[in-house]
Amino acid sequence: MGTATLKKGKEKILQSKHPWIFSGAIDKIDDVKQNGETVIIKSFDGAELALGAVSVHSQIAVRVWSFNSDEKIDKIFFENRIKTAIALREKIIDQNSTNVYRLINSENDLLPGLIVDVYNKYLVCQFLSAGAVFWKKEIVGILSELLKPKCIFERSDSESLVKEKLEKNVGVLLGEEPPKLIEVKENNLKFFVNIKSGHKTGFYIDQRDNRKLLREFVKDKSVLNCFCYTGGFSLYAKSAEASHLTNIDSSSEALTLITKNFELNNYSIDNVENIEGDVFKLLRKFRDENRKFDVIILDPPKFAESVSQVTKAARGYKDINLLAMKLLNRGGFLFTFSCSGHISQELFRKIVDDAAIDSGRIVKIIRQLTQSSDHPVLSSFPEGLYLKGFICEIY
Ligand code: SAH
């Protein structure tokens, strides 16, 4: 087996149980033949510390598989890790009402670089690190044996692959070609999902718990769903008897799916307005028209892709939050989110606080929100927490 020897003093990284070892912490890598293969991680003076996968082209040179250097990294190792992840989902997901959820959440399920999402009888995987790619065949075999899916579909097309210098791959890994749209249910609401080319692996599964919470706030209310995608929050609002819905997204394809999703649930689209456009512009238009809403959802895409974009992203978040606060009726509610990993909970809170001051409204934060529980966060891996949100009451 190859070895990755750390620089003097860098063994502290492993004590913290953070699964990433950056190239700057590594003194030398020896005897590696193939990208992604397993290496033993040693301290500068030769003590065996852990086992990991080497990524020869990445700044994250090694991702730890196990902090126990005696463990064997083989098919059984992956089978055990995958079984542990499945057991957690069996506890936290009510499979009678929900058949779309995240089964394996990468580092946070101790499987760095591996994402597996369940969409009814289909599994969608992303192999985002050299180590995950190295073990792809075994992982697909284990998933197939344990879950017997109709199809295992690969959606390794995330931009993060560029940094890892890994190839993008999209297509069937096992089983039958999936149809263009798959029907799934989330809390007994039905959705069509395009796993082949929809965003992420097809659906924003991470918002499930927050969408459910929305139900408590919308009865007989007018709701504005900004960045609505295929209508996740909108369907929940409809199911809880919102009186009027306005959906905004820049993607016409996403808006077409909203209408299909309403039909799928036998919901009327009377009092549902779908607007294709830019939220930044439309919020200003509504302000100029003096339009008001009772509930507004702001769930934008990631504004900060890197640390260097944080300041600009913060300006964007503040802009839409300020505009939304002004558009709310007295006693209205704002559901506001940031999924930028580089914007911390504290910074997002400060952005919302600043928007509150500039809006001239009284803003009460009544709840702090995060990603759904099938997206666990490993305590030693703060990067795992990326979705932050607040419910605010506005006066
Ligand atoms: N809330 C959604 C997920 C939102 S993802 C859900 O629960 O499923 C972000 C969405 O914002 C995407 O659908 C994307 O098409 C859209 N989008 C990105 N920039 C936009 C902009 N400036 N104006 C309107 N929509 C935008």
Per-residue pLDDT of the chain (395 residues; tens, 9 = 90+): 999 999 999 999 899 999 999 999 999 999 999 999 999 999 999 999 999 999 999 999 999 999 999 999 999 999 999 999 999 999 999 999 999 999 999 999 999 999 999 999 999 999 999 999 999 999 999 999 999 999 999 999 998 999 899 999 999 999 999 999 999 999 999 999 999 999 999 999 999 999 999 999 999 999 999 999 999 999 999 999 999 999 999 999 999 999 999 999 999 999 999 999 999 999 999 999 999 999 999 999 999 988 999 999 999 999 999 999 999 999 999 999 999 999 999 999 999 999 999 999 999 999 999 999 999 999 999 999 999 999 999 99
> CA 369, CA 349: separation in Å to the nearest integer?
11
Give the side-chain half-sphere CA count within 13 A for 305.
5
Handedness of CA 87, 230, 340, 158 (dihedral sign): positive
The one catalytic residue in 125, 151, 339, 392 is: 339
Per-residue CA distances from 282 to 117, 249, 289, 355 (Å): 33, 10, 10, 18
Ligand 1 pocket mutation, candidates 208, 250, 276, criterion most atoms within 8 A of CB? 250
> CA 173, CA 143: separation in Å to the nearest integer?
11
Ligand 1, atom nearest to 229 Cα: 13
> CA 283, CA 291: separation in Å to the nearest integer?
9
Residue 226 is a catalytic residue:
no
Which pLDDT score is estimated for 123? 98
In this structure, the residue with its CA closest to atom 21 of ligand 1 is 278
**Secondary-structure percent of the chain, ordered helix, strand, coil, rounded to 5:** 35, 30, 35
Nearest to 245 by CA among 253, 254, 232: 232
Ligand 1, CB within 6 Å, residue ranges: 204, 207, 227-230, 232-233, 248-251, 254, 278-280, 299-301
Q: Say if CB 63 and CB 20 are below 8 A apart.
A: yes
Which pLDDT score is estimated for 163? 87
145 SS3 class: helix
Ligand 1, atom nearest to 278 Cα: 23
> CA 294, CA 394: separation in Å to the nearest integer?
10
Ligand 1 pocket mutation, candidates 227, 285, 387, criterion most atoms within 8 A of CB? 227
In this structure, the residue with its CA closest to atom 18 of ligand 1 is 301
Nearest to 147 by CA among 122, 115, 126: 122
Per-residue CA distances from 142 to 139, 160, 185, 287, 367 (Å): 5, 25, 25, 54, 40
Centre of ligand 1 to C-alpha 339, Å, is: 12
Centre of ligand 1 to C-alpha 204, Å, is: 10
Task: State the Cα torsion 6-11-12-14 to the nearest 10°.
Answer: 100
250, with CB counted inside 10 A (0-12, 13-18, 19+), is middle
Which pLDDT score is estimated for 27? 97
Q: Which residues pair with 64 in a beta bridge?
A: 52
Handedness of CA 305, 306, 309, 315 (dihedral sign): positive
Residue corresponding to tokens 């939220």 = 279
Q: Say if CB 326 and CB 359 are below 8 A apart.
A: yes
Amino acid making up residue 81: R
